[in-house]
Structure 1
Amino acid sequence: MSAVLLPAIEGLPMRLDDVDEVLAIEEDLYPFPWTRGNFVDSIASGYSAWGYRVDGELVGYFVLMMAVDEAHLLNISVAAQRQRMGFGARLLNHARQGARQAGATSLLLEVRPSNEKALALYRRFGFRQIGVRRAYYPAAQGREDALVLKHVLAEDSA
């Protein structure tokens, strides 16, 4: 029986030099992607922004903002060709650990109700819906609501 080897993944703080690659993934995934300015501003503001690479290839990234004892996951994305390989879970784990280390007791995020893959991942990690932001996201036909999800970080150690 042979062991399955997971690819070596390297997580590095996102730099301005990474933004072109990040934008390529963002624009491939979403009809209404974040802009270059969103990423540049996040890096300049000192948000926890990380890129994950396998053999030099950017496979995913996240942007996390701290606010006192609460963290807000602003963006988490995995390249389309690298989805369903466990990278989303690795990114989410990194974001949770970073939030905890920064003193957060909870992690918040918004997600489109139509993003079933993301919802399944978040629910698997114990996120619970705490609200709805009406007409939050642009959509092909008007606007789409956002589900507001919360994860209590203390539950990770329970």
Structure 2
Amino acid sequence: MTRNGTPAARECVFCAIAARRAEASVVHEDDTVVVFMDLNPVTPGHLLVVPREHAAGLEDLDGATSAHVWSVGRDMARALRRSSMGCEGINMLLCDGEVAFQTVFHFHLHVIPRYAGDGWTLNAESSERERVLLDGDALAIKDAIASTG
């Protein structure tokens, strides 16, 4: 995890928002995270849950912060469903790395309210993977778990 006094953190827009040096429409904040409206929302009500401590991606977060981000994300999804905004569903989206569409390199969880006919789609092409290949993938992941604890 990179501390907020480093050059990367000083240039980070999410660090600036967390420190109240940049404008944002804040919905919730505590000692660990700040939640604010996405400036370029997919749908009305699109929120970002952002840890105050600068971390580029998921692997850079400590376990407690990671758990807190997801817990607050759940609370925000619940609030969106109970709000007057009338959302009918929720997508929680994590973009971790450039190839995964991350554009701001400070970890953040998107909480996206969904509305019938809102026009936002995920159009992934997928096909069934053979069991032998799935078993090989599972083994590679198990090996990584064993080696990292």
The interval holding the TM-score normalised by the smaller chain is 0.3 to 0.5
Per the normalisation by structure 2, the TM-score is: 0.39
Higher relative contact order, chain-length normalized (CA < 8 Å, sep 6+): 2
* Bigger Rg over Cα: 2
